[in-house]
Each structure stands twice: as C-alpha cells, then as structure tokens.
Amino acid sequence: MNYEFWFAVGSQFLYGPEVLETVETRAREMAAELSGLLPYPLIYKVTAKTNKEITDIVKEANYRSECAGIVTWCHTFSPSKMWINGLASLQKPWCHLATQYNREIPNDEIDMDFMNLNQAAHGDREHGFIGARLRKPRKVIAGYWQDEKVHKRLTDWMRAAVGVAVPREMKVMRFGDNMREVAVTEGDKVEAQRKLGWQVNTWAVGDLVKEMSAVTEEEVDVLYNEYLAQYDVNTDNTAAIRYQAREEIAMKKMLDREGCKAFTNTFQDLYGMEQLPGLATQHLTAQGYGYGGEGDWKVSAMTAILKAMGDGGTGASGFMEDYTYHLAEGQEYSLGAHMLEVCPSLASDKPRIETHHLGIGMNEKDPARLVFEGKAGKAIVVSLIDMGGRLRLIVQDIVAVKPIMPMPNLPVARVMWRAMPDLTTGVECWITAGGAHHTVLSYDVTAEQMRDWARMMDIEFVHITKDSTPEKLEEDLLVKDLVWKFK
Ligand code: MN
C-alpha cells in the first residue's frame, strides 16, 4: 500500500474571500514542501469553513485505505462546533499540527489585518479544545513547520500511524499451537481482532511439510545462492542450509498465498520436519515478516508492525528473548537471544551461517542458523500482554552494547544491553508490569512512537525509562487498572 496523509486547514467565511485564498495558497505550499521532506506525501485537501466540508473529508479519509491519517491546522480562527460531527466520526489517526505560516512577528508590517490572517495561536487553541472535549486520540505537535525538529516529529508520527494502518490487514499464520503450559504467550484472539484488527489462525505443520516436499531443487538453488551472497558460511553442512532454504520457500509460499505478514511455530511441534526453521525464519524476518517463537502470535504481529514502522517497511526490529544476566558490579547486562530466530536486521556485522546441535525440541538434524552480534546503541524492547479484558503495551528504554565477551561456544545470534534505569531496577519494573520474556527489540522505532501507537489503538501503555522507580510504577499501574476497567 502506498500510504499518504491528508492536510485539512481550519478557517471560516468571516474573513472574506481574499484571506481564504491566501490561506489555501499557503496551505498548498506547506503541504507540497513538507511532502518532499516527510516519508509519506502530505496532500492538501481543504480549507474548511463549514460542518459539511469537514464531515465530507473525514468520511472520505475513513473510506480510503491509502489515507493513513489526517493532519489539521488552523491558520485562522475556525469555530470548533463545525468540527464536531466530522471529528466524532473520524476513524483514522489524527495529528494536530500547531504551527504558523510565518516564523517571526514582522515588527513594521504587523497591524490588525496581519493579526486576523495569522492567528494560529488563537485558532489552534479552539481546535485543541474540541479535541479534548471529544476525548479523541490525537497527536499534538507544536513548532515551526520549516524546522527540522518538527519534520522529525511528523515523520515519527506518520510511521506510527502506518503502524496503525498495517494491523488492519494483519494476518498471522500459526504453524501449530502455543508451547504447552506457557501463560504469557496466550491471549484473547477475538479481543485482539476487535481491538487491533489482527486475524490470527492456525495451519497444520503437516501442510507445511507437504508444501516443502513440493519445492524443487532449482528453487532451492536460487535461495541457497542468495544465502551465500548475503552471509558468510561457517559450516560444511550444505544439506542443512539447503533444508532451511526449502523451509523458507515453503513458508513464504503459504504466507503469501494467505496474505499473512507474520507467523509462529513451536519446537514442540515439528512433526515431519528435520530441523526447526532457523536461517529460514531469520531470512524471512529480514524481508519484513513478523515472527514469534513457541506460538507467540502477539509478539509475531508486533514484530511485523514495528518493522513496517521502520524505513522502507523492513526496519531494524526483531523478535527477542531475555535469556541470562551478567551481574558483575558496574557491568550489569542482559543477554538476549533465541534458540535460532533472531533477525539479521539487528546485526552489527555480516552474519555467518553455522550448524549446531539443538537439544531442545524434536530436531532430527542440526539446524542451520545465522550467528552474529547485535548493534550497539539506544533501543527499546516492546511487550504486548493480555491482562484479561484489555491489552497492555510495555516499552522499556535500553542501551545495547557490543557484547563484552566473545562467548565462542554460544551458537546463536546475541544482543547485550542494559535496561533503564539500571539493570536490576529495570528488571524489577519490567516484572512488576508483567512484561514477557519475548519482546520486539527495535533500534529505529522510538518509545514516543509506541506511545502514539498505543493511544491510536486505544490500549494501555507503560513506559519504563531512566526516571522510572518501582514505587512510582506500582502507583501508575494501580491507577491504570482502575481507569481501564471503565474505558
Ligand atoms: Mn522463546
């Protein structure tokens, strides 16, 4: 989908045709200039003066799937009762851009005519009131429209809004069910579809095995050569790599046939397969597909969504699992990995293909997988959990580092990080909030974008930052528990 955003500017008839013409000319100019700087086009749609104009544009925005959101601004005063009917029916993400055409107050030129034309400070407050009065979820961005900071914030919001559009088409293919007895990977799929739009359904592992046996050697050759071109090879076990290629081709065929952008599997159910997909899953996730291990469909869909929010729809986000800690004083870190399936978009260097024995699960043969270290830098980890009656999105700020030791016998991709505010307080906060051991780790989606996303999706949002304390968090969670009972 080629997404776009619509620009609607508020005004009224009171000012006369000349002012309205100026407003429109300037709004067109702003939309055109911003379109060149933002990741998605911002299309000027209307200088709104009546209830009908606003209602019409909102109806169209709701209906058009390429419209991922609307941006509004009041160049002049725009009485907000005329916005009520339209905004009340708005189903798309909304950003209120509180800006003005001119940067500075012109000392000599300013008179009452200038004030009447350039009164965003006045108009945007009336516009803000009706947003608050209607309890409409919206993003407010204030600043000069030519400033880089405003472009960056609009960019981030647009990407978050695309993260809202994508789930409406999100289908998750589950090969088998959840890992037996695990709680956090379960959840209400009916509620997830009602709230987030996800369609989560199961296919038999036997169907995949059948699909795999229909893959030709020629098809395997093509993907095998692609692997060799993209990754270093650190194994003589060509058969294992070719087997992963066969798995990837079969999974991709099934996903694409059903329009699925995310999938899960579980090592407990590999009936008829020789290897748990490792390299196959990693290479698929690098192409933008979401993945969750052990049947975790929530983290799988979230991975696909965060990837879509990244540049070009294949951002540096991947499925991650908290494994083990390094608790030496002053060097406290988490070590994250998974059995096999960490996405190479997180890699700091060229991943290498290796084959190793995998004791867990029912692997008859040693699975091929990509081994690498994660990048250093600021990142977030994201967990969506089902609280019973509602979904909670937990985001924690982390700082990833180059792993402080080489760990030569660890046969999987690994990322090392410090959670905020510090490792142990961060762990206390995470555990208090109920965050899962499965997360999406992202280097390019920000916590503010996830907050925007949660607001647009109307789900609970918990953010663990450098300033978090377990006491404050506990109070916040208590208040949220009450609030969400009545929402
Ligand atoms: Mn796992």
Read off the pLDDT of residues 286-330 as tens digits, 9 standing for 90 and up: 999 999 999 999 999 999 999 999 877 778 999 999 999 999 999
State mean pLDDT over 73-97.
97
Read off the pLDDT of residues 112-131 as tens digits, 9 standing for 90 and up: 999 999 999 999 999 999 99
pLDDT score of 487 more than 90: no
Q: How far is the centre of ligand 1, averaged over its atoms, from the C-alpha of 341 (Å)?
A: 9
Q: How far is the centre of ligand 1, averaged over its atoms, from the C-alpha of 26 (Å)?
A: 53
Q: How far is the centre of ligand 1, averaged over its atoms, from the C-alpha of 248 (Å)?
A: 20
Rg, C-alpha atoms of the chain: 25
Q: How far is the centre of ligand 1, averaged over its atoms, from the C-alpha of 293 (Å)?
A: 5
Q: How far is the centre of ligand 1, averaged over its atoms, from the C-alpha of 227 (Å)?
A: 25
Q: What is 4-167's CATH number?
A: 3.40.50.10940
Q: How far is the centre of ligand 1, averaged over its atoms, from the C-alpha of 412 (Å)?
A: 13
pLDDT score of 135 more than 80: yes
The DSSP line for 115-172 is HHHS-HHHHHHHHHHHHHHTT---EEEES-TTSHHHHHHHHHHHHHHHHHHGGGG-EE
pLDDT score of 350 more than 90: yes
Q: How far is the centre of ligand 1, averaged over its atoms, from the C-alpha of 307 (Å)?
A: 19
- Pairwise CA distance, residues 270 & 208, whole Å: 10
- Pairwise CA distance, residues 375 & 347, whole Å: 6
- Residue whose token pair is 């996830």: 450
Q: Is 355 in a helix, a strand, or coil? A: strand
For the chain, give the mean pLDDT.
96
Q: How confident is the model at residue 364 (pLDDT cuts 50, 70, 90)?
A: confident
Q: How far is the centre of ligand 1, averaged over its atoms, from the C-alpha of 321 (Å)?
A: 6
Q: How far is the centre of ligand 1, averaged over its atoms, from the C-alpha of 460 (Å)?
A: 24
Q: How far is the centre of ligand 1, averaged over its atoms, from the C-alpha of 413 (Å)?
A: 14
- Pairwise CA distance, residues 42 & 155, whole Å: 11
What local confidence, expressed as pLDDT, does residue 362 receive?
66
pLDDT more than 70, % of the chain:
100
Q: How far is the centre of ligand 1, averaged over its atoms, from the C-alpha of 480 (Å)?
A: 28
Q: How far is the centre of ligand 1, averaged over its atoms, from the C-alpha of 438 (Å)?
A: 6
Q: How far is the centre of ligand 1, averaged over its atoms, from the C-alpha of 204 (Å)?
A: 20
Q: How far is the centre of ligand 1, averaged over its atoms, from the C-alpha of 286 (Å)?
A: 19
Q: How confident is the model at residue 365 (pLDDT cuts 50, 70, 90)?
A: confident
Q: Are 211 and 248 in contact (CB under 8 A)?
A: no
Q: Are 365 and 240 in contact (CB under 8 A)?
A: yes
Tell me whether residue 466 is exposed, middle or buried, using C-beta atoms within 10 angstroms of its C-beta: 0 to 12, 13 to 18, 19 or more: exposed
Report the predicted TM-score, pTM, of the whole model to 2 decimal places: 0.96
Determine which of 167-171, 203-207, 339-343, 471-475 has the lowest per-residue pLDDT on average. 167-171
Provide the 10 A C-beta neighbour count for residue 361.
17
- What distance lies between CA 432 and its chain's CA centroid? 24
- Pairwise CA distance, residues 462 & 465, whole Å: 10
Read off the pLDDT of residues 16-33 as tens digits, 9 standing for 90 and up: 999 999 999 999 999 999
Q: How far is the centre of ligand 1, averaged over its atoms, from the C-alpha of 402 (Å)?
A: 23
Query: At 322, which helix (H) or strand (E)?
Result: strand 317-326
Instruction: Please confirm whether the linkage preceding 106 is cis (ω < 30° from 0).
Output: no
Domain spans, the chain: 4-167, 170-485
Q: How far is the centre of ligand 1, averaged over its atoms, from the C-alpha of 292 (Å)?
A: 8
Read off the pLDDT of residues 219-233 as tens digits, 9 standing for 90 and up: 999 999 999 999 999
Query: At 5, which helix (H) or strand (E)?
Result: strand 4-10
**Rounded (10°) CA dihedral 422, 428, 430, 436:** 120
Q: How far is the centre of ligand 1, averaged over its atoms, from the C-alpha of 96 (Å)?
A: 40
